[in-house]
Amino acid sequence: MSKPHECDLPRFNATALLERLRNKRLMFCGDSLNRGQWVSMVCLLDAAIPSSLKSMRTIANGSLSIFKAKEYNATIEFYWAPLLVESNSDDPVTHRVPDRTVRVKAIEKHARYWTDADILVFNTYLWWKRPVMNVLWGSFDDPDAIYKGVEMVRVYEMALRTWSDWLEVHVNPNKTKLFFVSMSPTHQKAEEWGGAEDGNCYKEEKMIEKEGYSGKGSERRMMRVVEEVLQDLTTRGINVQMLNITQLSEYRKEGHPSIYRKQWEPLTPQQMANPSSYADCIHWCLPGVPDVWNQLLYAYIFHQ
């Protein structure tokens, strides 16, 4: 594995991490990219635990998945909240809705499950990537609720402010370590790295060699919003460590599942004739890139 410049990452030791997590909850909260990082972490730890001493269960209507290492009384959990705040995409299975709506001021429905965690790892990015988001003031059941379209970066900031206010009130900084994972890059336009004009990550076998490469899918404006919100939190006594995975993942155009993915709908003859049309160039193969994200997380857990 290539090493980051001026950075000596400690070797991942599953037993040492389980010992560190004894009687604790490590929780990932966010979208399917964060779920991939959770699956990676479960797999990295799984081999160190005898099969009789581990369990997996799902609660909260399928939103919360809990892997438990019984001998350590440790849990590694994932909570589905792709926008962190409440939305009409909160169902962990049926969240493909044509008109996405968020309640930027409402987070408690999700956040009540996060309260007692010892390590919280958040992400939210990809689900915000649309020019305008439908914002709801009031509840989904309220006939007098107010709906308004808000442009992307502004609505993202509004939601992160709600999230940060919740952290300030509900998190004990002496007990809980907080992380926010930076944006996960996509590789949906091969021309960005000098490939075919109509191509994407399909059939890619080598990583991008050009140092500092950045695809157009990575919205730097959104990450600046995250940095500002995290900076503001430090002035309020809450330290959230940014897990900066963006640049190291930018190079990995060959690391996506491509056509080897779950198909939610049967493929059409047109898709079958053009495999790149249904290639997944967003999520990551496992073992793969998210394992490196967890190596960084591991280093922070032991050296913060």
Which contiguous run of DSSP H or E holds residue 221? helix 220-235
Set 32, 87, 218, 276: catalytic member: 32
Length in residues, the chain:
304
Which contiguous run of DSSP H or E holds residue 24? none
Set 65, 90, 187, 280: catalytic member: 280
Q: Please indicate whether residue 87 is annotated as part of the active site.
A: no
DSSP 279: -
Query: Which residues, 6 or more positions from 56, have their beta carbon under 8 angstroms from its beta carbon?
Result: 65, 66, 67, 68
Buried b (16+ CB within 10 A) or exposed e, 74-100: bbbbbbbbbbbbbbbbbebeebeeeeb
Q: Please indicate whether residue 46 is annotated as part of the active site.
A: no
Q: Please indicate whether residue 283 is annotated as part of the active site.
A: yes
- Which one, of 38, 15, 39, lies nearest residue 28 by Cα? 38
CA distances from 255 to 38, 227, 249, 258, 289 (A): 17, 27, 9, 8, 7
Query: Which residues, 6 or more positions from 105, have their beta carbon under 8 angstroms from its beta carbon?
Result: 85, 137, 158, 162
Active site residue ranges: 32, 280, 283
